[in-house]
A and B are shown apart, each in its own frame.
Chain A
Amino acid sequence: MRPTNLLRWETMLAAVLVVEFIVFSAVSPYFLSVDTLSDATFNFTERAIVALPLALLIIAGEIDISVAAIIALASVAMGLASAQGVGTSGIAAIGLCTGLLAGCINGALVTIGRVPSIVATIGTMTLFRGAAYAVLGDRVLKDYPESFAAFGQGYLAGPVSIELALFVVFALAFGVFLHRTRWGRTIFAIGANPVASRFAGVPVNRYRFALFALTGLFSGLAAVLLTSRLGSTRPSIAQGWELEIISMVILGGVSVWGGKGSVLGVVLAALVFGLVTFGLGLMNIPGIVMSIFIGTLLILVVAVPALLNRARVSR
């Protein structure tokens, strides 16, 4: 996709966002208030925080399906630590470290083990989620210290939640990293042609490992936020999130074939996603109906460019 086309994609997402705003504020008088919109951000910030590094990973031509399972594993680790009387910062550190470690396992399997990333992460997804179930069974961990709730429920200033602030900061950081640095360009190169990149002297596997580790770390961060917001850990926590997070990334215009995508697109897609979920909730439409919408959108996102391409070729 040319830069101009890419720009058009993001313009389209922005247009969808505007339409959502208009429709929802017409439908519900409560939609357009600062408090409501601030509440709405909780619908997507945790997922969007994972979507950022995952976008980089997919641009590099890999995929990680185990993100939601990592969230569950990290949450269980935090719950156990909390039950042992570890303090708030200790719990958060354990969540982050568990995520990082899980990401490193994925990275090692793909780079050292040379297992295709989709298979490797289907395996680790089963392993991590399985470990969460094995440790916890049907129990619930919920004796978290009171101060731990700050991460997921606290506000930085006014209606800006800590979650939202974190997302904004990381979105900017990832945007600069991917589009303005040498490393970012290298990620595009790896995704576009890993063999050529290798021949050009790029340490492809080191990049892959780092991106898997990064995705793990951010899944750990999402686990801290989510666990703190819910105040409890079940092994089924964040069930099915991998699909929503991957949908967010692809909706953002990142090509599953690798080599294409932008952070702005992913951020816009996250907003579109979060607003749809929240707006349909306001209209009392169940989440499962919304999944039809997301599924259709996901296919359209890849089908429309393919159809246009076909039309252009046949002309």
Chain B
Amino acid sequence: MSSSRRDLAFAALTLALFLAVTFAFPGFAAPRNLAGLLDDTAILIMLALGQMLVILVRGIDLSIAANLALCGMIAAVFDRAWPGAGVVPALVITLVSGALLGAFNGLLVWKLRLPPIVVTLGTMSIYRGAIYLLSKGAWVNENEMSRGFVSFPRLEFLGLSLLSWLAIVVAAVFMVALRRSRTARDLYAAGGNPEAANYSGIDAGRMQFIAYTICGAIAGVCGYLWVARFAVAYTDIALGFELSVIAACLIGGVAIAGGVGSAVGVVLGCLFIGIIRSSLPLVGISAFWQMFINGVVILVAVFLSARQREYKRAILEVRA
């Protein structure tokens, strides 16, 4: 099954889930509710797209949530120090610091060829600890943040929050760029078969570096958005969120072995999780079941994709 056919099948499944919930609870499809659902899923969508790039090149970024939290704290501390500075500096600062944190991961993986899981496990602890050093363990609360800083992601255009629009723009850019740009082709090639990519003049390590840097930059900006949306910054924000992000990628059909995945699939994966999350209270199931359901969905998704990949890759790579 090709990637686009999988996306189509998964889109049908997501739509069926949506229709089933709407059929049982007509209020679910109300524009207000859907806008809320998109707003809740927006940060997950952006992070999952960044994570997808890293997984495409056979990496994994476990530090994505710690990066987000650190950049969020940087933005909050900056805003507390210069309340009049506005949103643009906060965005630029988080973009740059996030990209640097991501690039650090990328450099270690590229130049020293260290295993991605160990590198990002390490930086995850380091970034998380750095938040504590930066904030001295204290919280930055809403009353210490400037009004413009907090309200930015909640500004509304055409019924959707600015946060939702950002996610839509990022998703659209990914959908076009992954199909049209040369860098994206190189990314897929480097992840699909690094050896072959090397022979055709693509530096697989460099592609990993690029993927980590972009992923980090996205995580950084999401850090500001997260802090502004929830109007609080502390050491433990988004703790463990990296797993939700990776889960969204896996559900969306990104293969952990690299080279397989699409922006459409990842966005659908995020929406799928979002629909389940927002329909649980309607069905009367406690929110505590969310994680369990995610687990079931991940396992079904990876189990099914393991069958397909085996069939496709059997000719090229021998596995025990």
Contact = CB atoms under 8 A, between A and B. Distances in A.
Nearest to A288: B132
Given A113-B306, A114-B310, A124-B299, A292 B257 contact: no
A204 to B, nearest CB: 5
A295 B132 contact: no
B138 to A, nearest CB: 12
A286 B115 CA distance: 29
A101 B293 CA distance: 20
A1 interface: no
Contacts of B60: 118
A275 B37 CA distance: 47
A85 B287 CA distance: 29
Contact of B292 (A114, A134, A291): A134
B294 A133 contact: no
A109 B114 CA distance: 27
Interface string A101-126: 00000000100011110111011111
Nearest to A291: B125
Contacts of A289: 129, 132-133
A307 B137 CA distance: 35
Contact of B320 (A126, A194, A235): A194
Interface in B106-132: 108, 112-115, 117-119, 121-126, 128-130, 132
Contacts of A118: 60, 117, 256
Given A133-B292, A295-B129, A243 B124 contact: yes
Nearest to A118: B256
A296 B126 contact: yes
A137 B288 contact: yes
Contacts of B246: 122
A137 B117 contact: no
Most chain A beta-carbon neighbours within 10 Å: one of B243, B246, B302: B302
A130 B320 contact: no
A115 B295 contact: no
B291 A133 contact: yes
B318 interface: yes
Interface stretch (A12-20, A44-52, A298-306): A298-306
Contacts of B250: 119, 122-123
B303 interface: yes
A250 interface: yes
B233 to A, nearest CB: 15
A303 B126 contact: no
A30 interface: no
Contacts of A310: 112
**Contact residues on B (Cβ < 8 Å of other chain), bracket:** 35 or more
A295 B243 contact: no
Contacts of A124: 295, 299
Contacts of A195: 318-320
B108 A303 contact: yes
A134 B296 CA distance: 13
A120 B302 contact: yes
A127 B299 contact: yes
A234 interface: no
Most chain A beta-carbon neighbours within 10 Å: one of B293, B299, B302: B299
Contacts of A299: 108, 114, 118-119, 122-123, 126
Contacts of B181: none
Contacts of A126: 243, 247, 291-292, 294-295, 298
Contacts of B128: 288, 291
B23 interface: no
A281 to B, nearest CB: 15
Contact of A257 (B115, B256, B292): B115
Contacts of A197: 320
Nearest to A110: B306
Interface in B296-312: 296, 298-299, 302-303, 306-307, 310
A246 interface: yes
Contacts of B257: 116
A133 B319 CA distance: 37
A256 B118 contact: yes
B42 to A, nearest CB: 22
A219 interface: no
The 4 closest A-B pairs by CB, nearest first: A127-B295, A295-B125, A130-B292, A130-B291
Interface of B: 60, 108, 112-115, 117-119, 121-126, 128-130, 132-133, 137, 235, 240, 243, 246-247, 250, 256-257, 286, 288-296, 298-299, 302-303, 306-307, 310, 318-320
12 contacts: A122-B298, A126-B298, A194-B320, A195-B320, A247-B125, A250-B118, A256-B117, A288-B129, A288-B132, A291-B128, A294-B125, A298-B122
Given A113-B303, A291-B128, 20 more contacts: A122-B298, A123-B250, A124-B295, A126-B294, A127-B299, A129-B295, A130-B291, A130-B295, A133-B291, A134-B289, A137-B288, A204-B320, A246-B121, A256-B115, A295-B125, A296-B126, A299-B108, A299-B118, A299-B122, A302-B119
